[in-house]
Amino acid sequence: MKQIGFFFLSTNDYSLLKSEIIGKKLFLFFLVLILTGFSRPVSAQNLNEIISNLKGDLKNNPDERRKAVIYADLTWYYASVSVDSALAYGRRAVSTTGKLKDSVLLAQVYSDLGAVHFRNNDFRNAEKNYLKSYEIRKKQNNAAGIAKLNNNLASVYQSNFQYSKAMKMYLEALKYFEEKNDVKNINITKANIGLLYVDLKDNRRAVKYISEAIAYFESQDRTTEIENKLCENYLNLGKALQMQKSYAAAEIQYKKSSEICGKVGNTQGIAFASRNLGNLYTLQRKDSLAVLNLQTSQLAREAFNSRIDTESNGIDVAQNYIVQGKYHEAKDLLLRALPVFERENSKENQLSTYKLLTNIYHHTAQPDSADHFFEKYIALDGELVNTGVSRASAELEKKYQTLQKDSEIQKQKSTLFKRNVALFALLGVLLIGIVYYRNYQHRQKAKLQRTVMEQQDLAARAVMAAEDNERKRMATHLHDGIGQLLTAAGMNVSVLNDYKEDPARFELILDKTRKILSDAISDVRTLSHQIMPHMLLKNSLSEALRKLIENTSSPTIEINLKIENLNNDLDENIQMVLYRTVQECINNTLKHARATKIDILVVQDSDKVITKITDNGAGFDLQAMKRRNGGIGLQNIQTRIDFLKGQTWIKSSAGKGTEIYVEIPLKP
């Protein structure tokens, strides 16, 4: 039993507890409404308009069956507008339907009447009518109808604090709806379970379940049925958020509920939303807003003709009086309402009234009266708590998880069976596929071998062509360069005897001959370097490239070389190709580009060597050269790179220089 000393009660403490207790029956009625009746989908219109149209149909003297259906519909729709009218039409519906011997319609009428009695806090008659409907549907083997009644009966048991029994019935309903993949009723039941978690003070789960239900209803077309569900669930979500003390978020949900309830003419929804807003504003000491909303709620309740609801609204007004220090006005309201609550056995309202009176008598220095009502409060609170609040959460969660696990096992068995059927059905196809695949694999392997051989042949031809071109270039160099120099030297030597008597002339010819021979020796050295670059690579590629730049540089052109992370133990083939590539690019630039600057970058990373060569020369039209099949030097570069599985990119245009980018993998 809770031990709460009344000397330490504050108004805010009361407001929170009161909101927890009296809000329950307000929300539970909405649960019954959406489960019992709004299976009558209509377009979004005001409930009063629907009622007016149904009454108009009655004036047209319909047959007995149509009349019974109209009475049943009026019972249902009046449940949200006027309890007295709903009960009156419910009795007519029972009488007319009984004469027709229509058990299906009669079961629905009893279910609707149960909802009306529930709304009027008459839980005994609510249960009685639900059970009548249950017996009829059981004889009809109407599993869907029974599942919906389980939800409604669970709401009655929840109102009577029989939480374990309520959860059991909710879970039975949920299991059925999940088996049938009835998404709408799955979400209705989730909303119910969410409210039960509010009563069990597990607000995190409450927000989760109710939010899931709202997300579903918001995704549907806005019929009156759907808008009433949203009216109810916004209210319920606000309740759970208020319990978490998320007051701003709760206020948003209450206002959304009030707006949509007003749109469809849902009188009790307006009353509940206004009442909750009033309680919330009282908690926040926004007295003027609290009074305004409580007055709105009172007017709606009076229009609805529910005595308990009207009197329970006095609890909210009394609470607001207490906040303002008007203890005598609050006491008068509570003492007038208390006999009604005790006579109707409305325990949640009794509990709220006892606690408020305890607080009032404490502040007005009447300790005997304070003790009296505090003892009543403790006794009733203990009775309600001992019905299951202290143990229900763990027990019911376990049952729910067990049900979910059983459901999952059944789904897995079903999935396994379907999978096995599909597996055997596909075995034949699979065997055929294997045979076909092996045949295809064999064909592809043969095709790949042919392709490899063709590529090897092309590579060999390309290497031979490159070597042949290299020989031609060297022959041209020997003939046009070194050969002419040696010829000139020979001619000079042949005339030396003619000038033996002329020392000055003789010395001039001899110096000229020495100069020609020196140039020839230099050309021979250059050619030998080009022919046998591996001799230059005996130390490293870096040194060979620097030597090449040193020998090539002249006052008319600047050559810059930058080398990063280049290993000395690089594969010899890669070193040879890179050296040849740089050499070819420099020669082409010197011969054709009229450049004044060449930049060379060589970088090695974990898996490749990158070389970038740029100049500021005249450039050329790359596409035009390709069309003419020109550029032997460029073709030589491409051939060497392809041989090592590398890639080459050339970027050039007339007047904008040339950029050559080469990537060679370290492991082809």
Would you state the pLDDT for residue 403? Answer: 57
At 564 the three-state DSSP class reads strand
pLDDT, greater one: 648 or 301: 648
The per-residue pLDDT for 39 is: 47
Q: Which of 391, 388, 386, 373 is nearest to 14 (CA)?
A: 373
Q: In what order do the strands lie in the sheet with 658-665?
A: 558-564, 597-604, 608-615, 658-665, 647-652
Cα angle: 195, vertex 199, 200; to 5 degrees: 110
Would you place residue 307 in the very low, low, confident or very high pLDDT band (cuts 50, 70, 90)? low
Q: What is the pLDDT of residues 140-170, one digit of tens each?
A: 999 888 888 888 888 888 877 777 888 888 8
Q: Is the pLDDT of residue 43 over 50?
A: no
Residue 589: pLDDT over 90: no
Kindly state whether residue 612 falls inside one of the protein's structural domains.
yes
Q: Residue 471 is encoded by which pair of tokens?
A: 């020989």
Give whole-number Cα distances, 170 to 31, 450, 556, in Å.
Answer: 12, 71, 94
Region 2-22 average pLDDT: 38
596 or 35: which leads in pLDDT: 596
Query: Quick one: pLDDT at residue 531?
Result: 62
CA angle 17, 236, 344 (to 5 degrees): 60
The average pLDDT across 393-406 equals 58
Report how many domains make up the chain: 1
Average pLDDT rounded to a whole number, residues 638-661: 88
- The number of beta carbons lying within 10 Å of the beta carbon of residue 319 is 26
Domain limits for position 623: 538-665
pLDDT of residue 467: 66
Does residue 44 surpass a pLDDT of 70?
A: no
Distances (CA, A) of 157 to 28, 364, 413, 537: 10, 38, 34, 95
What percent of the chain shows pLDDT beyond 70? Answer: 80
Residue 655 covered by a domain = yes
Is residue 425's pLDDT more than 80? no
Q: How confident is the model at residue 325 (pLDDT cuts 50, 70, 90)?
A: confident
**Is residue 617 in some structural domain?**
yes
What whole-number distance in Å separates Cα of residue 148 and Cα of residue 169? 10
pLDDT at 171: 87
- Is position 266 within any domain? no
Query: How many CA atoms, within 13 angstroms, populate the side-chain half-sphere of residue 336?
Result: 15
Identify whether 605 is part of a domain: yes
Predicted model pTM: 0.46
Chain centre distance of CA 612: 46
In a domain, 658, yes or no: yes
Number of alpha carbons in the 13 Å side-chain half-sphere of residue 71? 25
* pLDDT recorded at residue 187: 92
- Indicate whether 192 belongs to any domain: no
Determine which of 493-507, 518-532, 641-655 has the lowest per-residue pLDDT on average.
Answer: 518-532
- Residue 504 identity: A
Q: What is the CATH number of the domain that holds 567?
A: 3.30.565.10
Mean per-residue pLDDT for 33-57? 65
- Domain membership flag for residue 403: no
CA dihedral defined by 134, 137, 142, 146, rounded to 10 degrees?
A: -10
Number of Cβ within 10 Å of residue 244's Cβ equals: 13
